[in-house]
Amino acid sequence: MGLFVDLAVHLSIWLLALPAHLLDFLGLWEPLAMLLFPHLFVKLAVDYHAALHSCKKELFSCLPDFAGPSGRLKVLELGCGPGSNFPFYPRGAKVTCTDANPHFQEYLRKSQAENDHLHFEPNLVAPAENLSEVDDASVEVVVSTAVLCSVNSVEKALKEVLRILKPGGAYFFVEHVCADPSTWTYIFQKIYDPAWKNIFGGCNLCRETWKDLEKAPFSEMKLQHIRAPLPLQPTAPHIIGYAIK
């Protein structure tokens, strides 16, 4: 039965993606996707973050360990989206939000107003691979959740993370990744991937992101592979943890 459900989901995704493929062929899809994706993401994010709530709560409980000498924690979040991670950040943290898509700003400002236990720096509209407005060695913590799947270059994004982290600072991540090649999930990821990218803002189902993290020159890393309890099985394989500069 599970296989038939997966096949039905696969067919539905391809049918939904047909207009996107056509618009992409005509060169019209990217600006439209930038406009529409935040509204779709906000709806899907409710279930996604609920499924990962306990994992993220445990992971982010370590954030205060990286506060500076003054006790103040400076956090920069990559691909902040609507700000779903704010409730996990410790009181008094100074947070800088970045996202390549300017159409998230409406949702982001609402979330910032609801999380007055934090101090927010001006929001930056910038891709994770180019954070030139952020000074070198200027934050204690960088965070990304479900972001590295859609950047153009994971390697360049991690170079920026290392550049802006202070020595001893940490990069916290929760990212969905490619499944084990011996599983049905992997097969369906390969089938879904072209349509999935068009529907979900360039999201790549088949990235082995842990390999990029292992290659990056972090001094220490705590990384765990988990299977998230998500209804869309292609995104269930995840990595979660943090890496120290």
First to last CA, the chain: 46
Give yes or no for residue 64 having a pLDDT over 60.
yes
The DSSP secondary structure of 179-199, one letter per residue, reads PPTTSHHHHHHHHHHHHHHHH
Would you say residue 149 lies in a domain?
yes
Would you say residue 165 lies in a domain?
yes
Would you say residue 158 lies in a domain?
yes
Neighbours of 106 (CB within 10 A): 12
Q: Which residues pair with 165 in a beta bridge?
A: 139
Would you say residue 198 lies in a domain?
no
Beta carbons within 8 Å of 99's beta carbon, 6+ residues apart: 79, 80, 81, 108, 123, 124, 125, 126
Give yes or no for residue 36 having a pLDDT over 70.
no
Give yes or no for residue 96 having a pLDDT over 50.
yes
Query: What is the reported pLDDT for 39?
Result: 58
- Which domain, by its residues, includes 95? 39-193+204-244
Q: At 230, which CATH number?
A: 3.40.50.150
Q: Which has the higher per-residue pLDDT, 12 or 76? A: 76
Taking residues 106-116, report their average pLDDT: 94
Query: What is the reported pLDDT for 28?
Result: 47
User: What are the tens digits of pLDDT across the range 146-179?
Assistant: 999 999 999 999 999 999 999 999 999 999 999 9
The whole-chain average pLDDT of the chain stands at 86
* 240, 174 contact by CB (below 8 A): yes
Rounded Cα–Cα distance for residues 166 and 173 (Å): 17
Pairing of strands 94-99, 237-244: unpaired
Question: Collapsing DSSP states into helix, strand and coil, what is residue 241?
Answer: strand
Rounded Cα–Cα distance for residues 40 and 245 (Å): 35
* 90, 62 contact by CB (below 8 A): no
Question: Collapsing DSSP states into helix, strand and coil, what is residue 237?
Answer: strand
Q: Token pair 């943290």 is at which residue? A: 93
Would you say residue 83 lies in a domain?
yes
Would you say residue 16 lies in a domain?
no
Would you say residue 124 lies in a domain?
yes
Instruction: Quote the pTM value.
Output: 0.85
Q: What is the number of structural domains in the chain? A: 1
Write out the two tokens for 27.
Answer: 């060169």
* 191, 13 contact by CB (below 8 A): no
User: What are the tens digits of pLDDT across the range 197-234?
Assistant: 877 778 899 999 999 999 999 999 999 999 998 876 78
Lowest average pLDDT, out of 27-31, 99-103, 123-127, goes to 27-31
Taking residues 1-17, report their average pLDDT: 55
Rounded Cα–Cα distance for residues 90 and 115 (Å): 11
Lowest average pLDDT, out of 100-104, 117-121, 180-184, goes to 100-104
